[in-house]
Amino acid sequence: MLLEPQDLIIPNEGDFYYDGDVDERWAIDHYLGKDISFAEERYYSLCPLSMVHDFTLVGARAFRYYIFGAFRYLQDPRSINEQDVYASLPEIISKKIYEEPSAFTPVKDYLINFCGWAVDNYQKFDIDPYVDIYGDVCERYKNLSLVVMEKVPQ
């Protein structure tokens, strides 16, 4: 497991703000005040891809915190063949970075390290038989690493 930043703080309601729609309210109702471990455990009991989706419709600061549930889940030996979450993260994270690059400064180094981990552990997720569906996931993680280095300030 990659070493996580030590200063991750549970988001407040303002950190969830995105556009005020029903999905954002749902995320606030279900996650406000909950820690990363709570989110991580839901990956095992619910549809993992739905879990990632829960955080696409919240503000960048809440996303930055709760996406660590996905990072932990993917690094867990129990997450074998989890192609959907593994393949979807690069675009989801890139989108959030473009929306608010400075929100990711506290986790910049971790994101770069996670991208390297994701490339190094490609075989764990058995993407090759589904490359026509998922495309070149390694290349997307390499591109995400470049986005992080170029867009996220120090």
How many Cβ atoms from other residues are within 10 Å of residue 75's Cβ? 15
Residue 12, SS3? coil
Residue 46 in any domain: the answer is: yes
User: How confident is the model over 11-69, as pLDDT tens digits?
Assistant: 999 999 878 888 889 999 999 999 999 999 999 999 888 888 888 889 999 999 999 99
Rounded mean pLDDT of the chain? 94
pLDDT at 18: 77
Query: What range does the domain containing 26 cover?
Result: 13-151
The total number of structural domains that make up the chain: 1
Residue 67 in any domain: the answer is: yes
* pLDDT above 80 for 81: no
pLDDT at 54: 85
The Cα–Cα gap between 76 and 98 comes to: 28
Residue 52 in any domain: the answer is: yes
Residue 2 in any domain: the answer is: no
Q: Rounded to two decimals, what is the model's pTM?
A: 0.94
